[in-house]
Amino acid sequence: MALQSIYSNLLGLVAFICAVPVLAVARAVIRLSSRGPALISEQYAGMKGIPFMASRLRCTEIDHPLRVTTAGRWIRALHLEYLPRIGNVVRGEMSLVGPAPVRLEFAEHLSALIPVYRQRQTVKPGLTGWTQIQTTEQDLPDAIREVESDLYYTKHMSVALDAYILLHALRGVLPFLEE
């Protein structure tokens, strides 16, 4: 885990430096195209259940959270919605690879329903993870399968597995890396 923290922080810092101009443009586009804040911040359960705040770019209307804005469509198509979370990686609250962060109220509820749920919190939440590369957007959310997948990751966590997950995640975001 210590090794993961080191390379996550270093790669996160490089990614943060590269992401600052992209985030500035995205925030400006959001602010110019619709009223309301460009970022939405929420509290998530981190490692050992310790709460932390994480942000995402707003892709929906303030008054109608299910209505995606034009700018939001582009942001989602370019996979930029969660780019601000790189700051959480640099601060050490998140890792590049790990179980997806879950909002605090949902984590508490799922912990009461699923006995082994808290075991997924033995590692830092990640920007991407084993669960994310194993499921597609067409798959229906299934909390039990996600927990199983997250527990697989926590049991087999290694530099090689992290590299594999990062490469697969990049292939999904950067289509020119496809075979």
Q: Are 146 and 120 in contact (CB under 8 A)?
A: no
| C-alpha span between 134 and 132 (Å, rounded) | 6
User: Mean pLDDT of residues grouped by 10 in the chain (179 residues)?
Assistant: 86 93 95 91 94 95 88 91 95 94 92 89 93 74 84 93 91 61
Q: Calculate the alpha carbon distances from 158 to 68, 78, 97, 154, 162 in Å.
A: 38, 29, 10, 9, 6
Q: Calculate the alpha carbon distances from 12 to 36, 86, 149 in Å.
A: 28, 6, 24
pTM of the model: 0.84
| C-alpha span between 19 and 33 (Å, rounded) | 21
What pLDDT, on the 0 to 100 scale, is given for residue 141? 66
Residues 6 or more apart whose CB falls under 8 angstroms from that of 155 comprise none
What pLDDT, on the 0 to 100 scale, is given for residue 101? 94
Beta bridge mates, 124: none
Residues 6 or more apart whose CB falls under 8 angstroms from that of 51 comprise 43, 44, 45, 104
What pLDDT, on the 0 to 100 scale, is given for residue 57? 95
Residues 6 or more apart whose CB falls under 8 angstroms from that of 158 comprise none
Which DSSP string corresponds to 75-102? HHHTT-TTGGGHHHHHHTSSEEESSPPE
